[in-house]
Amino acid sequence: MTLAASPANPLVLYHMPLSGHAHRAQLFLSLLGLPYRLVPVDLRGGEHKRPLFLKLNPFGQVPVLDDNGTIVSDSNAILVYLALRYDDGRWLPRDPAGAAAVQRWLSVAAGEIAFGPAAARLAVLFGVPRPLDDAIARARGLFALMEPLLAGQRFLAADAPTLADVAAYSYIARADEGNISLAPYPALRARLAAVEALPGFVPMPATPAGLAA
């Protein structure tokens, strides 16, 4: 849900529509049922490297969340902030074991997902210089590891959805745009479908790139 800015709608997400990191943050805002406003950032035009945006995030990256003056950058940091600020422990368990199980997958999202399916998509869709063969191999290795872990369960870190599923969704859902087929991984595809069935789900924008071309 996207609303105009108002005193009752303080959440603003600076994003780029085709960024999986930005979609990750938008997806969680929507799953929480929070009103928010999207502000597009022109990455191709270099808007993210200009002084006005760098005041929000000196790293010059999207997404950035503005919660009524509280600025949070980095997609996984935004997920944690929103869960601690607006949720009661459903999405980020408060017990040590449950929190650690979620953190494990946040680390995977920043590691193997970023250097696997995300990097492959960057190379194919945007022409960003990346070792494509290595990124595809990393993605396939990750998916092969995840497949047996997901056999017989719908979600990554618990019986119910958590931040782990939000963080791991966007780039895996668009793996085909990086020339990586999900056909060999039925359990992984079932997990994506379980996320897509959640109330408030918003899809990651698709493009005619890679295997979808």
Whether the predicted pLDDT of 7 surpasses 60: no
Residue 106 belongs to some domain of the structure = yes
Average pLDDT, the chain: 93
Residue 153 belongs to some domain of the structure = yes
Residue 207 belongs to some domain of the structure = no
Q: Domain total for the chain?
A: 2
> By the 8 A CB rule, do 165 and 195 touch?
yes
Give phi and psi for 61, each to the nearest 5.
-130, 150
Average pLDDT over residues 166-171: 98
Whether the predicted pLDDT of 28 surpasses 90: yes
Burial zone of 159 (CB within 10 Å; 0-12 exposed, 13-18 middle, 19+ buried)? exposed
Same domain, 122 and 43: no
**pLDDT grade, residue 10 (50/70/90)?**
confident
Report pTM. 0.93
Residue 4 belongs to some domain of the structure = no
Domain boundary among 25, 55, 86: 86
Average pLDDT over residues 187-202: 97
Whether the predicted pLDDT of 160 surpasses 50: yes
Same domain, 134 and 81: no
Residue 213 belongs to some domain of the structure = no
Same domain, 142 and 114: yes
pLDDT in tens, 41-56: 988 888 898 998 999 9
Residue 169 belongs to some domain of the structure = yes
| Higher pLDDT among residues 66 and 127, named by residue | 66
Tokens of 68: 């009524």
pLDDT at 212: 77
> By the 8 A CB rule, do 106 and 79 touch?
yes
Top-confidence range, 1-15, 39-53, 74-88: 74-88
Domain boundary among 45, 65, 86: 86
Domain boundary among 41, 68, 86: 86
Same domain, 187 and 123: yes
pLDDT at 89: 94
Cis peptide before 63 (omega within 30 of 0): yes
Same domain, 39 and 133: no
Whether the predicted pLDDT of 211 surpasses 70: yes
Residue 176 belongs to some domain of the structure = yes
Same domain, 192 and 100: yes
Q: CATH number for the domain including 100? A: 1.20.1050.10
Average pLDDT over residues 196-203: 98
Average pLDDT over residues 82-94: 96
Same domain, 116 and 146: yes
pLDDT in tens, 112-146: 999 999 999 999 998 888 899 999 999 999 999 99
Q: CATH number for the domain including 16? A: 3.40.30.10
Structural domain containing residue 68: 11-86
Residue 5 belongs to some domain of the structure = no
The SS3 call for residue 136 is helix
